Each structure stands twice: as C-alpha cells, then as structure tokens.
Amino acid sequence: MPTTPPPETTPPPPTKDHGRKALGAFLRSRRERADPAHTGLPPGGRRRTPGLRREEVSLLSGVSLTWYTWLEQGRDINVSPQILLALTRALQLDEVERAHLFRLAGLPVPEPAERSFDVPAAVRTFLDTLMPNPAFVIDRCFDILAWNRAQERILGSALLDRPRRERNSVWMLFREPLLRRLMPEWEAEARWLAGLLRQQAAYELDNPRFTELVDELLATSPEFAALWKDHDVVEFRSSVRRYDHPAVGAFEVSYVRMALEEAPWLSMICHFPEPGSEAEARLRELVTGSR
C-alpha cells in the first residue's frame, strides 16, 4: 500500500519578520557596545548600563527616536541607505559591520569611499599556481592589474610593451593589431566586450578612468564607436575563447570570472583547456616549451 510521505523537515526560509528582528538585535548589540567617550557627546553622569542610550543614537544620527526604537524592536518599516549610513557613523561601525547591517536590511552593500586597486599578494601567488593556464586580474574598467606568465606567453608584447593606461582588455582588443590576428572570432569578441563595458557603466560613470577609456576609444576606433552607439548590454557568462597562435597553432580554452571577496570591484579571469585535449598540449608547449 502507498504510504504517506514523511512531513517536510527542511526549515522554512527566513521571513521578512525574521530579518527585521535580526536587524534590531544587531543594532541593539552595537549600541550597547559603543563607547560614549568616542562620539563627541558631552560627558554625562554615571551610566547604569554600558554603551549609548537610544536617545543618544537618535541625536548622533539624526534619526528620530521613535523611528530608531521601531528599528530595534524589529517593526516592519522601510529603511533607506541614508538612514543606515547615519547609524553606521553614530554607532562607530567598521566596514564589516556596515556591510552586515545593510544585508540584514535587505539593501545592497555600498562600496567603500576609497577603493584599493592593489592586488593582494595571495592573489598574485594564486595566479602563478594556475600555470600553465593563463589568468589575470581586472577592475571594472577592464584595466589589467596582474597576470601570470602563461598570459604573457599568449599576448606577448601586446600586454607588456605599452603604458599602463593602455594595458586594458578593451583598449587592446580594439587598438592592438596582434589581438586581431590571435583571435579568429575577433568580431564576436569585440561586440561581447563592448556590451560588457556598457554594463559596467552603471557602476563607473562617475569614475574618471572609465570616462577616459571610453572617450579615447570613441575617438580612435570606429568599430568601438559603432558598437557603443548600439547601447547593447550583456552580463558575463563563462564561455570558450579561441586563439590561433603563430608559435603553436589553433587552440581553445574555456574561461571563468571570479570576484575577489575582499575587493568586489576586482575580478580574476581564468582560462583552462579541456584536460587531455590537443589544446592542453599546445598551451603547455607555448607556456613551458614542452608537451
């Protein structure tokens, strides 16, 4: 006889109410931990409990006492990024705590005012461990910030013998003749990369480097100008890239992009051939000189 299936034992996903309570509990914990001496408030009398009073958080942040109290109580109210940033300052939160606060509120985490474009030493070491597979690190403007020797072997002087501002994936694709010869599917790559750069515009329109790059390409590359005028926007998708290298002939590699958790405005592009394939043998020969 058929039996009744056992009841579902997987816990339900967190509800909005659960998120509000977690937000309130976190705010309360940071308020109780805050040091009144570091807030700029005038010295007060003896405190029965550590940390700040709700009234003081309201004064420091400009958020009404009623509104802040509702937040700590986990009430179902809408909270804006501006309010969260004000509370971040009032409660003296660090970057990790600020990001946690925004996530609990269900809002995108704002990036720090000052972004570092220094590639961490561990990431540079990791690039080298990927040998003989080519890999490099880029920012949202597609400037190439670090790479391994395998990437050098593929691009050669196209990557190395140029000023830093030209060491850019989009710039090289449209301005460097060697890449046209290396990439038999150059037209498709060009359209795809222009669409990716257009997608990044939503993040970087206020970035002078982004404006500099686009303006230079518009002025020097009719092909880029035509593609940019189309306003096509694409998301990154892992795919296959084909090369026809003068040293070893044709081969193809898959590629993926991985964001760097500690600096999400940077990402690593990693290429790899199918294991045991002729492409793997040719890539190894190009990079190491032997199969």
168 shares its domain with 248: yes
* Across 27-41, 168-182, 194-208, least confident range: 27-41
18 to each of 15, 58, 89, 257, how far by Cα in Å?
A: 5, 24, 25, 34
Q: Where are the alpha helices (DSSP H) in the chain?
A: 16-33, 54-61, 65-72, 81-90, 95-104, 121-129, 149-155, 157-160, 169-175, 177-182, 186-204, 208-220, 222-229, 278-288
136 shares its domain with 100: no
The tens digit of pLDDT for each residue in 221-262 reads 999 999 999 999 999 999 999 999 999 999 999 999 999 988
The domain of 181 spans 121-288
Q: Is the pLDDT of residue 130 over 90?
A: yes
Give yes or no for a contact between 170 and 221, defined as CB atoms under 8 angstroms apart.
Answer: no
DSSP 166-179: G-BHHHHHHH-HHH
* Pairing between β-strand 239-245 and β-strand 263-272 as defined by DSSP bridges: unpaired
88 shares its domain with 141: no
Percent of the chain at pLDDT exceeding 90: 68
Assess if residue 6 is contained within a domain: no
155 shares its domain with 192: yes
Assess if residue 4 is contained within a domain: no
129 shares its domain with 258: yes
263 shares its domain with 127: yes
Average pLDDT over the chain, rounded to an integer: 88
100 shares its domain with 135: no
Assess if residue 224 is contained within a domain: yes
Assess if residue 115 is contained within a domain: no
Count the domains in the chain.
Answer: 2
Q: Which of 104, 130, 145 is the last residue before a domain boundary?
A: 104
Closest CA to 212 of 158, 265, 252, 166: 166
pLDDT of residue 16: 60
Assess if residue 3 is contained within a domain: no
Assess if residue 206 is contained within a domain: yes
146 shares its domain with 77: no
272 shares its domain with 172: yes
The tens digit of pLDDT for each residue in 202-219 reads 888 888 999 999 999 999
pLDDT of residue 11: 43
> Which two tokens mark 236?
């990154």
155 shares its domain with 245: yes
Q: Is the pLDDT of residue 2 over 50?
A: no
pLDDT of residue 276: 95
138 shares its domain with 260: yes
**Quick one: pLDDT band at residue 145, thresholds 50, 70, 90?**
very high
135 shares its domain with 272: yes
Q: Which of 104, 130, 152 is the last residue before a domain boundary?
A: 104
Assess if residue 72 is contained within a domain: yes
- CATH code at position 272: 3.30.450.180
- CATH code at position 98: 1.10.260.40
Assess if residue 110 is contained within a domain: no
